[in-house]
Amino acid sequence: MNPMALMKVMSAKNKFTANHPKFVAFLGTVLKGGIEEGTVIEISVQKPGEEKITSNLKVTQSDLELFNELKDLA
């Protein structure tokens, strides 16, 4: 990755962290122990003026393999 692109990504990450410190802390707590097979991840989204929608997934071994491949890319 070129240095300018890396600086741009780091700047965006820092801004996200400043804007959403509780969410970043939450992710840190969740990821500290690692994600294991059988973990259920649930996410909800509520747009202004719309009903909330929720979905979830149970982490499988193939998901963990994908996560590891993505970590190796970073």
The domain locations on the chain are 1-34, 35-74
The DSSP annotation for 29-50 comes to: HHHHT---TT-EEEEEE--TTS
pLDDT at 74: 63
User: In this predicted model, what pLDDT tens digit does every residue of 10-61 receive, in sequence order?
Assistant: 999 999 999 999 999 999 999 898 899 999 999 999 999 999 999 999 999 9
Angle, helices 3-19/21-32, rounded to nearest 10 degrees: 100
pLDDT value of position 41: 95
- Please return the burial class of 64, using the count of CB atoms within 10 Å of its CB with bins 0-12, 13-18 and 19+: middle
| pLDDT over 90 at 68, yes or no | no
